[in-house]
């Protein structure tokens, strides 16, 4: 059993099947969660996770980075595959074409009082498709507005608009949720 990333990577480069399994175990939860947040479907997320690792393993012999770099590499493959799958399976609808050119990419905290991360993630799941996808990719997967625009084949200004509107809707939904929870 290999104990550290460098040993596991060396084993993968030698085509050691145990090393591949250990590499998969190192990153599978993180990669699956990224896929699931985009797709919202366990089976699709599992399939994309598997495919992403297979694609990464095809080029692993030339990889010379760190554990974090490997995680980022596989995660990027998974996000791209998830977006492609989402685009194929569903029509992405973006609400409104209004443009927000002066939106800062500063991600200030949601001002909803004390809300745990699970409540926020569940709130994002309830948003309309366009809002949900943009918020997930920007807030949870840390893609820039330009990267999201490129992936979704829309303009960066549309991404910013969806982000601002989605964040506002999420904030209002969370305020409404907290108000209803406190009344009960």
- Tens-place pLDDT, residues 131-163: 989 999 998 888 999 999 988 888 999 999 999
Q: What is the mean pLDDT of the chain?
A: 83
Reply yes or no on whether the pLDDT at 38 is more than 60. Answer: yes
Cα separation, 92 vs 66, whole angstroms:
35
DSSP summary character for residue 62: G
**In which residue are the tokens 């904030």 written?**
171
Selecting from 1.10.1740.10, 3.90.380.10, 3.40.50.300, 3.40.920.10, what CATH number does the domain 5-89 have? 1.10.1740.10
Give the pLDDT confidence of 80-98 residue by residue, as tens digits.
Answer: 999 888 877 765 555 444 4
CA distances from 73 to 45, 87, 94, 169, 177 (A): 17, 21, 29, 32, 37
Selecting from 3.40.50.1240, 1.10.10.10, 1.10.1060.10, 3.60.20.10, what CATH number does the domain 117-183 have? 1.10.10.10
Compute the average pLDDT of residues 169-179.
Answer: 80
For the chain, where do the domains classified as CATH 1.10.1740.10 start and end? Answer: 5-89
Reply yes or no on whether the pLDDT at 66 is more than 60. Answer: yes
């Amino acid at each position: 059993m290999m104990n550290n990333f460098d040993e596991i990577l060396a084993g993968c480069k030698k085509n050691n099947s145990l090393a591949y399994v250990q590499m998969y175990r190192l990153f599978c939860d993180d990669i699956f969660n990224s896929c699931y947040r985009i797709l919202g479907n366990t089976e699709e997320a599992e399939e994309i996770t598997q495919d992403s690792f297979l694609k990464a393993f095809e080029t692993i012999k030339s990889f010379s980075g760190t554990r974090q770099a490997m995680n980022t590499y596989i995660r990027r493959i998974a996000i791209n595959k998830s977006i492609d799958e989402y685009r194929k399976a569903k029509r992405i609808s973006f609400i409104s074409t209004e443009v927000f050119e002066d939106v800062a990419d500063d991600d200030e905290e949601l001002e909803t009082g004390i809300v745990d991360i699970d409540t926020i993630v569940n709130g994002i799941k309830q948003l309309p498709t366009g809002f949900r996808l943009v918020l997930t990719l920007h807030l949870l997967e840390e893609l820039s507005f330009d990267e999201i625009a490129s992936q979704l084949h829309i303009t960066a200004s549309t991404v910013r608009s969806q982000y601002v509107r989605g964040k506002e809707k999420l904030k209002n939904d969370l305020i409404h949720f907290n108000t209803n929870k406190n009344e009960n």
